[in-house]
Amino acid sequence: MVISSDRSRNGLMHDPRPRIAMVVCLAALALGCGDDPRERVSNIYELKMDPTPANVEAIRGYLDDEDLQVRVTAMYQLVELGVPDAQRLALESLDDPEGFVRMMAAQQLRSFSDPEVARRLAERVIEDEDSRVRRVAAESVAEVGGDVAIEVLGRCLTDPIAEVRKMCVEGLARLDPAVGVETLVRLLSEDPEWEVRVQAARALGLSGDRSAMAALEAATEDVHEYVRGAAAHALDRLRSAPVAPEPATEQPLTPS
C-alpha cells in the first residue's frame, strides 16, 4: 500500500504514456511492423487468409523488406494468390541480390509457360553464381519447355556442380535427349558422380540413338551398381526401339 501511495504521488499510476506506448507497440506487431522478421512473415500469412484488395496491397509492401525471408514470403504468397502481375513479380525477384530469393523465384516461375520466363530462367542456369539457383532454374526451365529450354539444358550439362549437371540431364531427358547424345556419352563414361552417370544412362536410353550403345555396354561394368542397372535398362530400351528406315534412293531409269 505504501508503494502504491508513493507511485500515485509521483504521478506514475496516472501517467498514460507507458500504456499508450504499449498499445502502439502491440499495434505495430499486429501490423507486422515489429523489428522481428518472424512477425512480418506471420502477418503476411494472416493477410493472405483474407485477401481483400487492401490486404493484398499490404502484402505488396513487404516485397522490398530488408529481410530476405520476408521478401520471399511476400512474393510467394502473391504468386499463390494469382495476382494479375504475378509473373512480373516473380521475374523481378529473380534479380534479387540474395540467392535464396532468386532460387524461390525460379521455383515459382515454372508455372508460367511464357517465352520470356524461359529466357530469364535460362540466363540464371548459365550465369547465376549460386549453384542452388542454377539447379532450380534448370528444373523450372525444363517444366516451361521450348527450344530455349532444350538449348540451355544441353549447354549446361557440364556445369561444375554435380547437382546442376544432374538436373540438366534430367530436364533434357524429358524434353529431347537426342540433342545432347555426345555430351551424355561423355558424362556416362567420365563423370565422377554416380548419380549423374545414372541420369546420363537413362537419358541415352530415351534418346533413340543407337550410337550410344557402345558407351552403355561399357557402363554395364561401372563400379556403381545403380549405374550398371541404368545402363542395362537403357540398352534394352534402345535394342527394342524401332530402327528408322534407310532413306530411299532413286534408281536410274532403264530403257524397257
Nearest CA-CA partner of 104 in 83, 84, 79: 79
What domains are defined for the chain?
Answer: 35-84 (no CATH), 176-240 (1.25.10.10)
Q: How far is CA 103 from CA 140, 159, 243, in A?
A: 10, 17, 42
**What is this structure's pTM?**
0.79
Cell of 28: 505495430
Q: Is the Cβ–Cβ distance between 138 and 111 less than 8 Å?
A: no
Q: Is the Cβ–Cβ distance between 84 and 111 less than 8 Å?
A: no
pLDDT tens, the chain, 256 aa long: 333 333 333 443 344 333 333 333 333 444 444 579 999 999 999 999 999 999 999 999 999 999 999 999 999 999 999 999 999 999 999 999 999 999 999 999 999 999 999 999 999 999 999 999 999 999 999 999 999 999 999 999 999 999 999 999 999 999 999 999 999 999 999 999 999 999 999 999 999 999 999 999 999 999 999 999 999 999 999 998 776 554 455 555 555 4
Q: How far apart are CA 103 and CA 124, in angstroms?
A: 9
For residue 76, the one-letter residue type is Y
